[in-house]
Chains A and B, each alone.
Chain A
């Protein structure tokens, strides 16, 4: 069945990127038909909150990314629980698993990411999970509810997802072992020293961390059930459940045969347009401009998905918007410790300069190349980290004042006034009513 009427804006994906695009389209085009299709049956929810959900108590309603009337108010049609199986750029159609074909005028691919699953013996056993969507959290929740005694879990992969699920499992009373292939956990988003803040916190919860090893297979004793994980050195970790969290990759199956240019993700230009006319992409599925690397890269983080979706939406609606670029940026709050990082976290070679300040349990580090910031890590106190992030984003030459960026008393006043004057509202406009103190100051009598 082919729909006769073309949908003006079809968005595949109902998360940060898809919502960012829909909101931007509605700012420009109040009437054009928008349809969002997603294989997840839920209204947009905050994906990072699945760990809060699993940790409990956290109601699903509180996970909603937008207010309940969002779709209705913005006149967005949703096809939830519907999977797109194929995109046809020439015919301007998509085919759904249910057999329906949808015709569109402009299409956004905000398909997101999917967990990387290695070929591993035992990966189909009951008790083996991934942790990327609400359904994953529900499945783990259901599994844990079967047990009245302490559950032992092995988390394969010590990245953001691995540590997120670990925190939730620990809060549910499970005994967790993290198996990380590299030398330290969270190694793609934190340097070793900042990651050590997390290692200390995890150690206090009794979590076991094994680094420098990989899981070889997941073992089973009772048919279909997990009884342990065997590592590459032959060690066996007994457990009832395992979570595979070795990483995510762009979800590309719908476009794999479409002819749209793909590198590691869907390649987009600064307008978030793909190689095919009228087709845009954003978020974890897309390879968009990274301002630290100065080239296209996967940066699968929520804020970039939203911003990329916004730019795509504006362009889809006929504006001419340019993506300023994003870079890896993460804010962590596991076990109450706040850490942020952005861009590079360890210098790749000695052409970079690294400045570090350690003070009173607070860690601040910036990485600089040719006078410009290329990365930052703040742990223990993240206040004002946004100033440094935006200096990096705007490509400000910091060579004249780089030491102040990591100083304990760092603030806007530490920067040349040309920098902060731009960011503050500046002088009030001429001729407007200015309100200051309500009361006349009392006359002071010295010695009174």
Chain B
């Protein structure tokens, strides 16, 4: 599967990834409306963490061990076997936040208005995710993941085969 890679050394923390993500998840697809008029407010599925000169555009990594899936109280989170993506069934999500507590990146975001969790689906209806497509500094890359990703190594540490 393809994943989004972060090149934090060239990320300038401009936040355009967040802007385009929010726009993508708006109903109006209009930037001003998305930010100022729409209720419930569309939420960005990613966030930019900054500290000093370091900035990181963080989103769901669809980890191999995905602790959120096991933590989910309702079964709303699952891995799609065809795409390997970790998906949330918004019908069954109650927005409790257990996944937020379980995620090492803290990325599951609660839409408090809708009482649902929202997360990145790597823009399944786009050729490449809008955050990557609109990153002005090529700090985000969309590329095939190697067979063993770091998350898988972490799992291997706990599962001695």
Binary CB contact string for chain A from 376 to 387 against chain B (1 if under 8 A, 0 otherwise): 000000111111
**A residues less than 8 Å from B102 (CB atoms):** 303, 329, 386, 389
Q: Which one of B99, B132, B161 lies within 8 Å of A435 (CB-CB)?
A: B132
Contact between chains at B143 and A433 (CB < 8 Å): yes
Closest to B5 in A: A428
Main secondary structure of the interface of B (DSSP, over half): mixed
Q: Separation in Å of the B67 CB from the closest CB of chain A?
A: 8
Contact between chains at A336 and B112 (CB < 8 Å): yes
Q: 16 new A-B pairs (CB below 8 Å) besides A20-B70, A333-B96, A423-B105?
A: A46-B73, A336-B112, A340-B97, A382-B97, A382-B110, A385-B100, A385-B101, A388-B106, A413-B55, A422-B154, A424-B150, A425-B5, A425-B151, A435-B127, A436-B138, A436-B142
Closest to B71 in A: A303
CB under 8 Å from chain A, chain B span 97-134: 97-110, 112, 115, 127-128, 132-134
> Quick one: given A331-B101, A409-B50, are A432 and B143 in contact (CB under 8 Å)?
yes
Please, could you name 19 A-B residue pairs with CB atoms under 8 Å apart, sorted by A? A52-B94, A302-B98, A303-B98, A320-B161, A329-B98, A333-B96, A340-B100, A342-B101, A385-B97, A386-B106, A387-B104, A404-B51, A411-B50, A413-B49, A413-B50, A413-B54, A435-B142, A437-B133, A437-B135
Contact between chains at B5 and A426 (CB < 8 Å): yes
Contact between chains at B141 and A435 (CB < 8 Å): yes
Asked whether any CB of chain B lies closer than 8 Å to the CB of A314, the reply is yes
Contact between chains at A434 and B159 (CB < 8 Å): no
Binary CB contact string for chain A from 145 to 164 against chain B (1 if under 8 A, 0 otherwise): 00000000000000000000
> Quick one: given A411-B47, A428-B5, are A436 and B135 in contact (CB under 8 Å)?
yes
Top 8 closest A-B pairs, CB basis?
Answer: A411-B49, A384-B106, A303-B71, A386-B103, A386-B106, A331-B97, A390-B104, A413-B51
- In the assembly, what is the distance between CA of A434 and CA of B138, in Å? 10
- In the assembly, what is the distance between CA of A342 and CA of B106, in Å? 14
Contact between chains at A322 and B74 (CB < 8 Å): no
Asked whether any CB of chain B lies closer than 8 Å to the CB of A324, the reply is yes
Interface size of B in residues (CB-CB distance below 8 Å): 66
Asked whether any CB of chain B lies closer than 8 Å to the CB of A429, the reply is yes
Q: Which of A58-66, A183-191, A205-213, A345-353 contacts its partner?
A: A58-66
Contact between chains at A411 and B56 (CB < 8 Å): yes
Main secondary structure of the interface of A (DSSP, over half): mixed
- In the assembly, what is the distance between CA of A429 and CA of B1, in Å? 13
**A residues less than 8 Å from B158 (CB atoms):** 321-322, 324
**A residues less than 8 Å from B51 (CB atoms):** 404, 409, 411, 413-414
Contact between chains at A66 and B159 (CB < 8 Å): no
- In the assembly, what is the distance between CA of A321 and CA of B158, in Å? 7
Closest to A415 in B: B51
Contact between chains at B115 and A331 (CB < 8 Å): no
Contact between chains at B143 and A333 (CB < 8 Å): no
Q: Separation in Å of the B21 CB from the closest CB of chain A?
A: 15
Contact between chains at B110 and A383 (CB < 8 Å): yes
Contact between chains at A48 and B74 (CB < 8 Å): yes
A interface, CB within 8 angstroms of B: 20, 46, 48-49, 52, 62-66, 302-303, 306-307, 310, 314, 319-322, 324, 329-333, 336, 338, 340, 342, 382-390, 404, 409, 411-414, 417, 420, 422-429, 432-438, 441
Contact between chains at B140 and A436 (CB < 8 Å): yes
- In the assembly, what is the distance between CA of A28 and CA of B51, in Å? 43
**A residues less than 8 Å from B150 (CB atoms):** 422-426
Asked whether any CB of chain A lies closer than 8 Å to the CB of B40, the reply is no
**B residues less than 8 Å from A432 (CB atoms):** 143-144
Contact between chains at A385 and B94 (CB < 8 Å): no
**B residues less than 8 Å from A437 (CB atoms):** 132-136, 138
> Quick one: given A322-B158, A436-B142, are A385 and B75 in contact (CB under 8 Å)?
no
Closest to B55 in A: A413
Q: Separation in Å of the A390 CB from the closest CB of chain B?
A: 4
